[in-house]
Amino acid sequence: MNNFIFQNSTKVYFGQGCVKEYLACLTKHAHTILLAYGGGSIKRNGVYDEIMDVFYSAGKQVVEFSGIMANPTYAKVQEGARLARACGADMILAVGGGSVMDCCKAVSLAARYDGDVWDDFWARPGVIDFEPLPLGVIVTVAGTGSECNGGAVITNEEKKIKTGRDYPALNARFALMDPTYTYSVPQGQMVSGSFDILSHIMETYFSAPDEDNVSDDIMEALMRSVIRNLRAAIQNPRDYTARSNLMWDATMAENRLIKMGKQCDFECHNMEHQLGAYTNCNHGCGLAVLHPVYYQHIYQEGLPKFMRFAQNVWGIPREGRSDQELALAGISALAAFIREIGLPTTLKELGADKAQLRQIADSCGISQGSYKKMTHDEIYKIFCECYE
Ligand code: NZQ
Ligand code: ZN
């Protein structure tokens, strides 16, 4: 295993009823709270009322920052920072999925920084040598794992760049995670969020080192859990066991624990982020289109791991198969699962413009952790193979 340092500063409160039980205590020192959310699902499913009841009883001043869009933009970050300053907020409470949580991490930084946070913290890595505005999160959809890391993916619309940075100083102070809050997530989003979880695990699993290490063993169990519980949640969206497993799978995939000792790939994420910058496509849907084709391109360089994936994640027997056939059977099982759960399989379905594929490919970051050193030409080839 490679050397590592591990710390995760977010305190998690997990389970049905956690918001009612703990929110008042967790916000007791805040006078003015910036309550951030997305397009309004929390107003339709009762989550907003539950939160406001707590704040009303505690006499808090609440200022709303709403309308945070999927794939949050830098302009929205600036809007949130202006609002936080104007109202003198001493805490941000982000209620939603990855988009709301990521936007609020950037707001927490921008509200306490006089320069341009895009230039100084997203366009290039920066150093946070001041205290960002304290952030707490309430998770309403399982997927990104943003609740337990310092990652924030922001889209700069003018520059056509969607990029993530991970600053431990931006970890939320607390994360409230009630699986029943995810019951109202539309099936399409539940499925794409779950694929995002699977993708985070695969992007970590398919990377060096491949000798015996506990992270790989944990990841196989997590991948089986996502597959099993997603199938159960599709059958019954109010299956508490399935929803709670998916919610915790998401956190486990991105709370940095499984990355310990691993190099990590994330080339598919690099590609998806740039597709998102050009098409505004759904994150998990973009990943679903890319993964099987990308893996066909790299499996020869990571053959033993792809063979292990086929056997330990998909239960494909070794007997009667060559190494190549076994590895490819695992990739086919992944592609079949994507079709089974109803995710898109072509870039055309995501609304990508074929004429722009070359430009998008050239704008993608190149991962240092891939089994195979990618080039922009090969990324373009992958995009073309994914197109229809
Ligand atoms: O906006 P509202 O009305 O709330 O609706 C949202 C949104 O339309 C809806 N939703 C959320 N909870 C709901 C619900 N609808 C009904 N009931 C509920 N309980 O779900 C839709 C999608 O929400 P969004 O936050 O965009 O989804 P997700 O969690 O997949 O986040 C995607 C963003 O996170 C980034 C992605 O690139 C993308 O920008 N990522 C962040 C990462 C991180 N910080 O670690 C890692 C990821 O790899 C990813 O890149
Ligand atoms: Zn992701």
Residues 332 and 277 in one domain: yes
Q: Which domain holds residue 325?
A: 187-387
Residues 45 and 108 in one domain: yes
Q: Which of 65, 66, 74, 99 maximizes ligand 1 atoms within 8 Å of its Cβ, making it the mutation to test the pocket? A: 99
pLDDT category at 2 given cuts 50, 70, 90 is: confident
Single residue among 167, 182, 197 that ends a domain in this structure: 182
Structure tokens at 15: 């389970």
CATH at residue 96: 3.40.50.1970
Q: How far apart are CA 229 and CA 200, in angstroms?
A: 16
Which residues sit with their C-beta closer than 6 Å to ligand 1?
Answer: 38-42, 45, 70-71, 96-100, 102, 140-141, 143-146, 149, 151-153, 164, 181-182, 184-185, 189, 193, 196, 254, 269, 283
> Residue whose CA is closest, atom 50 of ligand 1?
153
CA 141 to ligand 1: nearest atom: 12
> Residue whose CA is closest, atom 46 of ligand 1?
144
> Residue whose CA is closest, atom 28 of ligand 1?
98
Residues 198 and 315 in one domain: yes
Single residue among 182, 200, 226 that ends a domain in this structure: 182
Ligand 1 centroid to Cα of residue 163, in Å, is 15
| Counted domains in the chain | 2
Which ligand sits closest to the CA of 73?
A: 1
Residues 126 and 44 in one domain: yes
Identity of the amino acid at 344? P
Residues 133 and 62 in one domain: yes
Which ligand sits closest to the CA of 288?
A: 2
pLDDT of residue 1: 80
Residues 40 and 65 in one domain: yes
Residues 124 and 216 in one domain: no
Residues 161 and 309 in one domain: no
Residues 218 and 176 in one domain: no
Q: Contact, 9 vs 131, CB < 8 A?
A: no
In a domain, 6, yes or no: no
Single residue among 119, 148, 182 that ends a domain in this structure: 182
Phi, psi of 285 (to 5 degrees): -65, -45
> Residue whose CA is closest, atom 36 of ligand 1?
283
Work out the average pLDDT over 13-23: 98
- Could you read off the pLDDT of 130-172 as tens digits, one per residue? 999 999 999 999 999 999 999 999 999 999 999 999 999 999 9
Residues 174 and 196 in one domain: no
- Could you read off the pLDDT of 33-65 as tens digits, one per residue? 999 999 999 999 999 999 999 999 999 999 999
Residues 81 and 177 in one domain: yes
pLDDT of residue 191: 98
In a domain, 4, yes or no: no
Which residues lie closer than 8 Å to 315 by C-beta, 6 or more apart? none
Q: Contact, 32 vs 61, CB < 8 A?
A: yes
Ligand 1 centroid to Cα of residue 247, in Å, is 13
- Could you read off the pLDDT of 273-327 as tens digits, one per residue? 999 999 999 999 999 999 999 999 999 999 999 999 999 999 999 999 999 999 9
Residues 61 and 162 in one domain: yes
Q: Contact, 192 vs 288, CB < 8 A?
A: yes
